[in-house]
Chains A and B, each alone.
Chain A
Amino acid sequence: MNITPDMKMADVLFHNYTLLPVVSRFNIKLGFGDKTVSEVCRNSDVNLDFFLEITNSYVDEDYIPQKELNTFPVSLIVQYLKKTHQYYLEEKIPEIERNIQRVLDAEKTINDKFSLVENFFTEYKQELTNHINREEANVHPYVLEIEAAAIKNEINKSLHSKIRKYSINDFASEHDNVEEKLFDLKNIIIKYLPPCNSSGLCNSILIELFRLEKDLNAHANLEDKVLIPKVAAMEEKLLALYKA
């Protein structure tokens, strides 16, 4: 079922609770009463079409983005991606870390084994942080620069050599999957760790890992299916302009 402007925002969340963090990323706060999606977006100063595209593709992997998605400014997408990064580093990762620490405190007997999970996760966190930093330091400024040039319809020598040196497709090909490690971690906890008595804690670690994985996939989809093609098209246009 697609999310539409006339639906009540509360109903949207009743049907898809996984959207909760996504909605927060738009700075939309709970307490909607009977307001519709479009009313809530208007009140919170959120671009309605963008909200619909993001939420629909989040709940339905087969959802085909409407053409309008291409009319959103790159800056809006970048802003959303940044919010998502923040959510990973400031909420999700620390939450999982805390639970891992709790298991370590509770399980003295398998403590040494479980500390391997801790190390593994620390490594993962570092990898994810590097990945995010690289995107925010290099890729985001680059795509914003491309967009600004495309709007003005002019390209100078330095931007031309930048595109030649490192285009968005290079980024796409380097776009390593940070999901692999996450998958291994779930596998290790489910299959290979010695039985853990704090099963409640272990379960919540696993559930958070599954959710993080889903969110990362949606995040990667937004980059691969929307941002990259959009920027690639602008690059092409700019290069043609430079030649002329």
Chain B
Amino acid sequence: MAKPAVINIINANIPNEQKSDDALIMLFQSGEQEVFRYLVERYREKVRNVIFSIFNDADQVDDISQEVFIKVFHALPNFRFESSFYTWVYRIAVNKCRDELRKKKVKRFFSFHSFEKTTNTKIENLATTTFDDENIKGVIEESLKKLPEKFRMPIILKDIDGMSYDEIADVLDCEVGTVKSRLSRGRTMLREILMPILV
């Protein structure tokens, strides 16, 4: 896809923080690297929160988010405007998370039993308690963590980040149909975990 005609936007006499993503990227690609901060400020919280949704561990969020934006910084000169910057950054973030999850999996291999036991115990304990909204939230988030990553990721992007099917497809680099089927499959798995607890 050809570059959009954003030259007029770049030259417009508006502050950088109000420029569109594409205009900032064009400026970045023409050598004004300082505009990168506006892109970061615009998306840093979204990226932090999607990483938080995936790991549910606030301690890891900032390190991974920093890595994501460093990758974005290095990849931005080659950004071809084929997708929105927003979904492109998400894709990098999701891929980074996948890498991290893979690393964790290797670690988990050596302590698989204890991990499974802990997770199951948490859910079982919750199953015996009286539910208020906070408890339900906890049960659902713990249950979501038990889903395989390829089913979990679409649910996070859809239900937590509120993305459309098209955007999810763009982020996960797959067809919209695949997104729909993974979402439905993931939800079925989630329902199977939750039904005995919540109903």
A interacts with B: no
